[in-house]
Amino acid sequence: MLKGNLVFGQSGGPTAVINSSAAGLLTTALASPFIEEVYAAEHGIVGILKDRLFDIGQEELKELNLLTQTPSSAFGSCRHKLADPAIDESEYKRILEVFEKHNIRYFFYNGGNDTMDTCHKISVYLDKAGYECRVVGIPKTIDNDLCGTDHCPGFASAAKYVASSFMEIKLDSHVYDYPQIIIVEVMGRHAGWLAASSVLASHKGAGPDLIYLPERDFSLEQFERDVRAVHEKKGDVMVCISEGCQDKYGNFIPEMFADKDLRTDAFGHKQLGGAADTLASFVKEKFDVKVRAIEFSLLQRCAAHIASPIDVNEAFQAGKAALNFALEGYSDFMLGFDRSSNNPYKIEMIRVPLVECANLEKTVPDEWINEAGNFVLQPFIDYTLPLIQGETERIEKDGLPLFANLKRVLVK
Amino acid sequence: MLKGNLVFGQSGGPTAVINSSAAGLLTTALASPFIEEVYAAEHGIVGILKDRLFDIGQEELKELNLLTQTPSSAFGSCRHKLADPAIDESEYKRILEVFEKHNIRYFFYNGGNDTMDTCHKISVYLDKAGYECRVVGIPKTIDNDLCGTDHCPGFASAAKYVASSFMEIKLDSHVYDYPQIIIVEVMGRHAGWLAASSVLASHKGAGPDLIYLPERDFSLEQFERDVRAVHEKKGDVMVCISEGCQDKYGNFIPEMFADKDLRTDAFGHKQLGGAADTLASFVKEKFDVKVRAIEFSLLQRCAAHIASPIDVNEAFQAGKAALNFALEGYSDFMLGFDRSSNNPYKIEMIRVPLVECANLEKTVPDEWINEAGNFVLQPFIDYTLPLIQGETERIEKDGLPLFANLKRVLVK
């Protein structure tokens, strides 16, 4: 059994449950006789390069457990991309130096596809250098676009937020006796999983009429026809637009109007705004009705107050299972979920070779999108609904969220 | 005891708990031996003018009870303002006609200060016409700006949403290793109660650094100085701006830049955007850091998934108490809350003469705002914290909200 110290890092955009993976991994590591010291890097790989590691052994268990209900990345995140080691090895040398200094034998990195790429490169480098270290990726992303796993921790909570919020907005937008067109923008730069989740609201009778995903080319002409058809039939129109939608030339929605060169802010800066905002301007031009653009912004990825309890638990178990696999001797893998049954819903923890998920993107299957490319079909509902079941359980104080309060003591 | 039929209407912008008042009133009315038929007007006073009344007796009790967790105005709302009866009596005559047709002896109207004005005018007119009818206003507004009552149903749930969301966004905005300025816009056209609620997040250590309310003149110069001071001290800056903030000349924030005449959208329309959006452009110009504008939009008034249980219950009790007072013979009043104790929190239901609240606005007391006009003080926290206590209890289905499903059968 490989004995030594452990370091954990968080990378990329945060989610409502990324800290739950941290809680699962770190509390299990603290209890393991094979892990001597447990560290967390400040701002992921950047903290390793800077030798800024927090000593988790100094934290109270109560606070570490509160991480399961604390959104965002408790130890700080980064978007740092390591160079190709064939071109520039300097950062890898530095990582090895820091690992040797602290006798790091277990390295866990929690993030998306870029993170898995970083993990794999580090794993290969350390192996070549003859330094024994188990390198493991733990998935997280509201985008749900990692290959090799049934779904990603973080997605279900964001989906629950998106579907619930669509239902509430739908009711709110209906109250007056005139028609209204509401366009809601959902995150997802390359994959439409999260935008597609709005169909869960439609499934409950209070969701969008039209849903556009980046998986299909976006056409303004078709969009106008679609909106008109719904408007003529029902009056009110509710649209879900993924921020990642592009036309067949690869332009994002705001870029489709960039040649008009008209959109400037009060300071003369060209401003494209978001997809919803831009489409709302377009629709106002074409229809004589009230139009409103809504952007969920950061809320969709940090709304721990409506996190899926299944997601919180799976994120925790992913951290725990990642460590257990590493203790068994496995390395150079990402922890993944294999769904063995949908009814009752059941998953198993699996290992996915890092090369199979690094830098790759899993998009919504084409057959889960309707032919017109403006709605999502039943298989998506069957896939997503089991992931958002149950009511969020959390400890509150004064009717407000209670977040982990960590000491963050740096290791010398 | 006055026997007859009852009609209930909803007016103005919806809230997360306005339907809970409907549930309290309607279920109590259905059980009362003195109320023969129970109706709800479609789109408030507009539905009365059009003689479009729903027969509540046809609804299932189970669905009426679900109204306590259904946001928005279940029977439709309106912004219709009745004329001054001294100038034009025609709409009042029509109301009397419809009331006589349906033997309406109890009229309850749920809304804000405009609604209380409408109530009072109808009350006076019916009285003059010698038609016996009890006319009662039930308060609702996320703005919390009604006079004569300690607070308004709807405010606490919106405050709980605002404070929780600020806490979550604060954590999310901290994850990277560079400073960020976040500007969040909160509703409240004339009163800053809801924007002030963001201080509850600061009170828990994860809220805005600066809070601007419409109660004080807004100065761009001071704003820039304030932001710079926080930025120099802490790096990250989080600002809460009320949409209602105005400069000393009465210009709203986007209007302060209107003379620049530069902000046009892709279609050449002048676009001022929201307060947060405009201030973000202003800050980008002045500071070399990442700036993000967030608007809570409709979510802050319809997020029933995080409603305050105290608010849900008080809204229900307000509907019930309004009816009981009317049955006792009282009329021409608004139901109000009198806070008799803060610890333990305790309120009593009171009657406020409609003339004392019609068209008036209650703003945040000046001494609850700091001298610089950029933060909120402890008395506001003491006032608001008791209102948001407890965890939201609601019946869910498939991990999503369950809303009332009403038949809405029109009375012939």
Q: Do A400 and B388 touch (CB under 8 A)?
A: yes
Distance between CA atoms of residues B12 and B21, nearest Å: 14
B229 membership: H or E segment, kind and range: helix B220-234
User: Three-state SS for B330?
Assistant: coil
- Is there a domain that residue A150 lies in? no
Q: How far is A267 from chain B (nearest CA, A)?
A: 7
Q: How far apart are the first and last CA of chain B?
A: 27
The domain spanning residue B208 has which CATH number?
3.40.50.460
Residue A379 lies in a domain: no
A309-327 helix and A18-31 helix, angle to the nearest 10 degrees: 40
Residue B325's domain spans which residues? Answer: 4-154+304-360+389-401
Same domain, B233 and B266: yes
CB contacts of B73 in chain A (<8 Å) are: 175
State residue A172's pLDDT score: 95
Euclidean distance between CA atoms B392 and B65, whole angstroms: 16
**CB B302 to CB A177 under 8 A?**
no
- Band (pLDDT 50/70/90 cuts) for residue A260 is low
Chain A environment of B76 (Cβ under 8 Å)? 174-177
Please count the residues of chain A: 412
Token code pair at residue B312: 């849900």
Q: How, if at all, do strands A134-139 and B333-342 pair? A: unpaired
**Residue B233, in any domain of the structure:** yes
> Using CA atoms, how far apart are residues A293 and B265, in angstroms rounded to an integer?
14
In a domain, B296, yes or no: yes
Neighbouring C-alpha atoms within 13 Å toward the C-beta of A91 = 18
Portion of chain A with pLDDT greater than 90, in percent: 90
Please give the pLDDT value at position A268: 53
Same domain, B149 and B160: no
DSSP character for A189? S
The model's confidence at residue A257, banded by pLDDT at 50, 70 and 90, is: confident
Q: Which residues of A touch B187 (CB under 8 A)?
A: none
- pLDDT at residue A394 above 80? yes
Whether A261 shows a pLDDT value over 80: the answer reads no
Distance CA A71, CA B359 (A): 42
- For residue B392, the chain A residue with the least C-alpha distance is A399
* Residue B296 CB partners (closer than 8 Å, separation 6+): B161, B162, B165, B184, B185, B186, B187
CA atoms within 13 A on the CB side of B270: 10
Rounded to an integer, the average pLDDT of B295-316 is 96
- pLDDT at position A359 is 84
Sorting pLDDT into bands at 50, 70 and 90, what band is B142? very high
For residue B261, name the pLDDT band (cuts at 50, 70, 90). very low
Residues of A with CB below 8 A from B271's CB?
281
Distance CA A138, CA A146 (A): 11
Is pLDDT at B167 greater than 90 in this prediction? Answer: yes
Q: Of B17, B77, B66, B71, give the one whose Cα is nearest residue B42.
A: B77
Whether B398 and A390 lie within 8 Å, measured CB to CB: no
pLDDT tens per residue, range B72-88: 999 999 989 899 999 99
Q: Are residues A102 and A221 both part of a single domain?
A: no
| A273: confidence class by pLDDT, cuts 50, 70, 90 | low
Instruction: Report ipTM for this prediction.
Output: 0.95
Q: Are residues B240 and B309 in the same domain?
A: no
Q: Does residue B327 form part of some domain?
A: yes
Instruction: Tell me which of B143, B145, B277, B332 is the catalytic residue.
Output: B143
The answer to whether position A378 is within a domain reads no
Mean pLDDT of B375-390: 97
Contacts of A220 in chain B (CB under 8 A): none
Test A266 with B284 for CB contact under 8 angstroms. Answer: no
Exposed e or buried b for every residue in A198-212, given b needs 16+ CB within 10 A? Answer: bbbbbbbebbbbbbb
pLDDT of residue B398: 94
**Same domain (yes/no): B141, B193:** no
Q: Are residues A139 and A18 in the same domain?
A: yes
Taking the alpha carbons at both ends of chain A, their separation in whole angstroms is 27
A264, pLDDT greater than 80: no
Share of chain B above pLDDT 90, in %: 90
Task: Look up the pTM and report it.
Answer: 0.96
CB contact under 8 A, A266 and B278: yes
A52 plus A172 within the same structural domain: no
Q: Is A10 helix (H, G, I), strand (E, B) or coil?
A: strand
Element (H, E) at B347: strand B345-353
For B261, the closest chain A residue by CA position comes to: A266
Give DSSP secondary structure letters for B93-124. Answer: HHHHHHHHHTTEEEEEEEESHHHHHHHHHHHH
CB contact under 8 A, A172 and B204: no
Tell me the pairing of strands B104-111 and B134-139.
parallel
Kindly state the tokens that stand for B316. Answer: 């229900």
Query: Is A294 in Cβ contact with B297 (below 8 Å)?
Result: yes
The answer to whether A177 and B78 are in contact (CB under 8 A) is: yes
Q: What pLDDT score does B262 carry?
A: 41
Q: Which helix (H) or strand (E) holds A182?
A: strand A180-186
The number of helices, as runs of H, and strands, as runs of E, in chain B is 13, 13
Minimum mean pLDDT range among A109-123, A172-186, B164-178, B261-275: B261-275
What CA–CA distance (Å, rounded) separates B71 from B153?
13
Catalytic residue (one of A117, A143, A145, A209):
A143
Cβ atoms A350, A358 nearer than 8 A? no
Tally the domains of chain A.
Answer: 2
Q: At what angle do helices B90-101 and B113-128 cross, to 10 degrees?
A: 70
pLDDT at A189: 85
Q: Do B80 and B201 reside in the same domain of the chain?
A: no
**Average of per-residue pLDDT values in chain B:** 94
Residue A366 known to be catalytic:
no
Sequence-distant (≥ 6) Cβ neighbours of residue B165 within 8 angstroms: A299, A303, B296, B300
pLDDT at position A259: 62
pLDDT(A385) > 90: yes
Closest residue to A400, CB basis, from B163, B266, B268:
B163
Average pLDDT over residues A164-172: 97
The overall average pLDDT reported for chain A is 94
Cβ pair B161, B299 in contact under 8 A: yes
B203 and B100 share a domain? no
pLDDT of residue A263: 47
> Residue B365 falls within a domain, yes or no?
no
CA-nearest residue to A174 within chain B is B76
Hey, what long-range contacts does A250-259 have (CB within 8 A, 24 or more apart)?
Answer: A253/A218, A253/A278, A253/A279, A254/A278, A256/A220, A257/A282, A257/B266
pLDDT, one tens digit per residue, over B362-375 is 999 999 999 999 99
Q: State both tokens at A167.
A: 């239902």
Instruction: Among A256, A286, A302, give the residue marking a domain's end.
Output: A302
pLDDT category of residue A383 using cuts at 50, 70 and 90:
very high
Where residue A32 falls (left for φ over 0; alpha for ψ -120 to 50; beta otherwise) is beta
- Residues B17, B137 within the same domain: yes
Specify the range with the lowest mean pLDDT, choosing from A312-321, A356-365, B119-128, B312-321: A356-365
> Of A277, A302, A327, which marks where a domain is finished?
A302
Q: What is the pLDDT of residues A170-220, one digit of tens each?
A: 999 989 989 999 999 999 988 999 999 999 999 999 999 999 999 999 999
Q: Which amino acid makes up residue B148?
A: G
The beta-carbon neighbor of B281 closest among A266, A281, A394 is A266
Let me know: does A335 contact A137? Beta carbons within 8 Å: yes
* CATH number for the domain harbouring residue A326: 3.40.50.450
User: Is A178 in the same domain as A50?
Assistant: no
What percentage of chain A has pLDDT greater than the value 70?
96
Confirm whether B410 is domain-assigned.
Answer: no
A157/B195 Cα distance (integer angstroms): 27
Pair B38, B166 in one domain:
no
What was the pLDDT predicted at B189? 85
Boundary-marking domain end, from B301, B316, B351: B301
